[in-house]
Amino acid sequence: MASKASLYVISGPSGVGKGTVCKALLAREKSLAYSVSATTRSRRPGEIDGVHYYFLSKEEFLRRVEAGEFLEWATVYDNYYGTLRPFVLEQLEHGRDVILEIDTNGALQVKKLMPDAKLVFLEPPSEQELLHRLVGRETESPEEIAKRQQCLAYEMSQKEYYDYAVVNDEVERAVDEIRQIIARRRSE
Ligand code: 5GP
């Protein structure tokens, strides 16, 4: 009998490359469903509503919190981010494995609610490398970078609560390691 569908949470500090790794993972593992999060942060150039995020006003986000629409939600760098519960549950019910790309607080909320979820902590080869990437991607202002830098030590300390730690030294290698985690789980 096929084993039941699993929820995988890819998390880790800001700038570690969660987005890049998830994109490459989804390109390789077509059967995975990616959960598009909701956020109150403003849209960056090139981002599409409903593809990268559902961009919501604070009022609308809080209305959905009240309505119980989020599996988890957290305040990250002064904005709200959340995972929409119906999408995740529907995919799992239909036997599809789901990937969440969320911050460390959200990841631990998911683990509490769904202990079978597999938490993958994506870590940088070094903190210096991570700061270099944060500055290099040019998507945040210097103030935002400073904020993210302040959170780094806390985010790194969360690693111990995860099921797996994967070093993002090279995207394809990190993706292969996550694919092995998925393959092992599927064969259980
Ligand atoms: P960014 O604004 O750079 O896209 O994301 C900022 C942080 O929010 C990242 O660490 C990202 O993983 C996290 N994030 C994105 N979506 C969610 C979500 O639905 N829930 C939580 N808790 N964090 C999220």
Average pLDDT value for residue range 23-28: 98
Q: Among 113, 49, 109, 55, which Cα is nearest to 80's?
A: 55
Look at residue 49 in the predicted model and tell me its pLDDT.
98
What pTM value is reported for the model?
A: 0.93
Token pair recorded at residue 124: 């940088």
Dist CA 64 CA 44 (whole Å): 23
Look at residue 134 in the predicted model and tell me its pLDDT.
83
Residue 75: is it exposed, middle or buried by C-beta count within 10 angstroms (0-12/13-18/19+)? exposed
User: What distances in angstroms separate CA 18 from CA 10, 69, 100, 110, 148, one per listed residue?
Assistant: 7, 24, 10, 17, 15
| 68 appears as a binding residue in the annotation | no
The interaxial angle of helices 171-186 and 18-28, nearest 10 deg, is 60
Q: How far is the CA of 73 from the centre of ligand 1 (A)?
A: 9
Token pair recorded at residue 135: 């500055």
Token pair recorded at residue 51: 């593809």
pLDDT in tens, 42-91: 999 999 999 999 999 999 999 999 999 999 999 998 899 999 999 999 99
Atom number, ligand 1, closest to the C-alpha of residue 74 = 22
Q: How far is the CA of 186 from the centre of ligand 1 (A)?
A: 27
Beta bridge partners of 91: none
Evaluate if residue 126 carries a pLDDT over 50.
yes
Dist CA 92 CA 156 (whole Å): 29
Averaged confidence pLDDT in the chain: 94
Atom number, ligand 1, closest to the C-alpha of residue 104 = 22
Q: How far is the CA of 3 from the centre of ligand 1 (A)?
A: 29
Atom number, ligand 1, closest to the C-alpha of residue 13 = 10
